[in-house]
Amino acid sequence: MLAEHLLDRAREIAPRISALRQAIHAEPELGLETPLTLAKARADLADLPLEWREGTSCTGAVATLKGARPGPAVLLRGDMDALPLQEETGLPFASTIAGRMHACGHDTHTAMLAGAARLLAGRREDIAGEVRFMFQPGEEGFHGARHMIAEGLLDPLPDAAFALHIMPNYRHGVLTVRAGAMLAAADMLEIVVEGQGGHASMPHFSRDPVPVACEIVTAIQTLVTRRFAASEAMVVTITQLDAGRAHNVIPDRAVVKGTVRTLSPERRQDVRAALATLAEGIAAAHECRATVTVTEGFPPTINDPRAADLFEAVALELPGGGFERMAHPIMGAEDFSYVLEKVPGAMAFLGVAAEGADWAHCCGIHSSRMIVDETVLPRGAAILAGCALRFLERGWGQAATS
């Protein structure tokens, strides 16, 4: 089977995949500027017949492998940026830069993408069409995919797109995906309550914004559970309440901040309007004024069912691993969603807990102690390459294994 042959070849280049991952891990970069990481990936792939396009608004780049014959285009994506986090793993290749760590697996994503590029370059004569490898910075809240799309680095748009995300607290080598909404939109909420300050001993001469803000926070919980169906998962979490600087002074204003997570564009708009109505109404009842600002983050990650089926077909061809359908979406967010708004495709998760480990209790992503079992990375490279080859050969017409 095709995917099995890819896995054999991926295992042969496993030391190369791990070496690239460890080099990237040791020098993490943040945000939209990841020149060292991109340079490492380009150097690793310098011997391959790739055509490179780089951006100017960020260090994003797309490398294109053209097949021997014309055909459709498929995109594979890997992100490159790290997190502002102090590493505590004790690994020999741990971060050498204080306050930075690859704690979300983007180092592995880039290494697996480079591995997939090498696997596919070795089969170039069999390819009808082209494969584009999207090396993307700024996934951790910096909208790197949106920047690359705006610059035209994905133009003309491909016919399909696939991405992998590792999960250190999930079963070793198991791929999991779901059709439809897989991850949530992540928007930032700010509510400013303006009242009239005064002396804390005489609150009746003021319009205290603090209890008004507290009432709004409590009412938000009821809003979520009573205005929206339980089957439509939604999260509104308040994480900050800032008001006043002295114990005996009623402030003029209170500021509430938090996050709003939704799984569809429709509910994303509905909850925004409902939050404004709720906050403004409560504030008015207390002769205060509330201003609600929702700053859009990543949109929901919505997988095309055909792409989810294709991921399943490829994963089931690989020996020694496994495949599971995700029962429920995760309320985290991913900016591969920008790509999926424009191109049919899917993101899947790959478990990288050590074989035989108590995987559910392993440190998860964004942990300063997160550990990855690198023996899974060749499987990830083979899955990405297999998705590209299967789509170029069959399109969406036949996902099942033959």
Task: Report the phi/psi class of residue 173: left, alpha or beta, with left for phi > 0 and alpha for psi in -120 to 50.
Answer: left
> Could you count the other beta carbons within 10 Å of the beta carbon of residue 202?
9
- Alpha-carbon gap, residue 303 to 384, rounded angstroms: 16
> Could you count the other beta carbons within 10 Å of the beta carbon of residue 128?
12
Helix locations, 122-205, DSSP H: 144-150
Rounded to the nearest 10 degrees, what angle do helices 35-44 and 14-26 cross at? 160
Residue ranges, CATH 3.40.630.10, the chain: 2-182+300-394
Rg of the Cα atoms in the chain = 24
Contact by Cβ (8 Å): 114, 41: yes
* pLDDT value for 87: 97
The dotted CATH code for 185-295 is 3.30.70.360
Q: What is 2-182+300-394's CATH topology?
A: Aminopeptidase (3.40.630)
Residue owning tokens 């009808």: 128
Distances (CA, A) of 127 to 10, 65, 349: 18, 9, 26
* pLDDT value for 211: 97
**Residue 227 amino acid letter:** R
- Of 302, 307, 342, 297, which is closest to residue 154 (Cα–Cα)? 342
* pLDDT value for 401: 43
Backbone angles phi, psi at 130, to 5 degrees: -145, 155
* pLDDT value for 402: 39
Chain centroid offset of residue 59 CA: 18
308, two tokens: 């989810």
388, two tokens: 């590209």
Distances (CA, A) of 301 to 32, 60, 261, 275, 315: 21, 20, 12, 23, 21
* pLDDT value for 1: 56
Contact by Cβ (8 Å): 65, 124: yes
Residue ranges, CATH 3.30.70.360, the chain: 185-295
Task: Report the phi/psi class of residue 163: left, alpha or beta, with left for phi > 0 and alpha for psi in -120 to 50.
Answer: beta
- Burial class (CB within 10 angstroms; exposed 0-12, middle 13-18, buried 19+) of 273: exposed
246, two tokens: 């002295």
- Alpha-carbon gap, residue 83 to 69, rounded angstroms: 41
Q: Which residues of the chain have pLDDT under 50?
A: 400-402
Contact by Cβ (8 Å): 54, 111: no
Contact by Cβ (8 Å): 60, 143: no
Half-sphere exposure of 105 (CA within 13 A, CB side): 28
